[in-house]
Amino acid sequence: MASQKIVVCGGGGFIGGHLVADLLRQGADVRSVDVKPFDEWYHFLPGAENLQLDLRGKENCERAVADCDLVYNLAADMGGMGFIENNKALCMLSVLVNTHMLMAAKDAGTKRFFYASSACVYAADKQTDPNVTALKEEDAYPAQPEDGYGWEKLFSERMCRHFSEDYGVTTRIARYHNVYGPLGTWDGGREKAPAAICRKVIEAKLSGNHEIEVWGDGHQTRSFMWIDDCVKGTQMIMKGDCADPLNLGSSELVSINQLVDIVEDIAGVKLKRRYNLSAPKGVNGRNSDNSFIQKIYKWEPSTRLRDGLERTYAWIHDQMVSQAREETQMVAGHAVS
């Protein structure tokens, strides 16, 4: 590990930042690259070589991979379902990142290239029932992925495959299923369901207005993967021998109503639910079939949702209380002046 130079693209993001932190703990030489200004990074870790680069441009990709042995490409313009459904073109433009990163990695002779794909590649007609049959890797074809974001992910998977076949670039692919945990987005429109529900429950508890808006009818189902499981599985897949795309997600299926139940229980409140049937809600059901990753690596993400949500809730609660305190002090300061 210490003898290899590793670049994490999207290192200023939620998953990428956790990956950089774990690699540094192992003694790796890490270059972390992200398009955002440093003060907007989810994690800015001084132990890494940190670069602000827009990886949609090929020259920036060449700079990012220079002298690196391993490339983790987690860079993408994305967010929760609200963001994905309302920014299809923006999500599709991430294809420039992976295309130029693959070209740069090929030219630089990079040893291995990891691509972070998504469960959004799976065919919509296999996700119409909340009592969904867990999705196997082969269920991505015939292709009918999430419009915009899912098509970009599936296309980039094919790019990885063909760069491997035609140019000998060793590629590895994981299909992430709804990753959550501390140090992630919890407001602003890009947050995913676990963080959004935590924020809404905390807002209701702190305000005394014991009501919550739920997107959809609450019966839609998902699985949610704890960030530490994601980081471990990502490195396992990168180091492993399997060149095919692999599900990386928990198989613990819950409805959105059940997700709210768990967060309410953590918070010690019971809220009135208002269902917004016109809000983005995605497919009716999606779960990860982990038989392939179990067969290949004798492992699967296994952190219990309740355990991960307790830690996520506590972190978001601290962020919200701190933010409210700062806003109060700012208002008081203006009043004095």
Among 42, 115, 122, 149, the one annotated catalytic:
149
175 SS3 class: strand
Q: State the Cα torsion 65-71-72-76 to the nearest 10°.
A: 40
Those residues with Cβ within 8 angstroms of residue 4's Cβ, 6 or more apart along the chain or in another chain: 28, 29, 69, 70, 111
Task: Count the Cβ atoms, other than its own, within 10 Å of residue 337.
Answer: 5
Contact 117, 174 (CB under 8 A): yes
As a whole number of angstroms, the distance between CA 196 and CA 180 comes to 11
Q: At what angle do helices 58-65 and 95-108 cross, to 10 degrees?
A: 50
Burial status of residue 319 (CB atoms within 10 A of its CB: 0-12, 13-18, 19 or more): middle
Note if 141 is an active site residue.
Answer: no
Half-sphere exposure of 4 (CA within 13 A, CB side): 15
Sign of the four-CA dihedral 195, 324, 310, 42: positive
Nearest of 268, 233, 264, 269 to residue 250 by alpha carbon? 233
What is the identity of the amino acid at 322? Answer: S
Nearest of 187, 175, 99 to residue 137 by alpha carbon? 175
Tokens standing for 258? 């059940």
- CA separation, residue 108 to residues 62, 122, 135, 173, 245 (Å): 8, 32, 36, 20, 24
Q: Where are the alpha helices (DSSP H) in the chain?
A: 14-25, 58-65, 81-86, 88-92, 95-108, 149-167, 193-207, 227-239, 256-267, 291-297, 305-336
Active site residues: 149
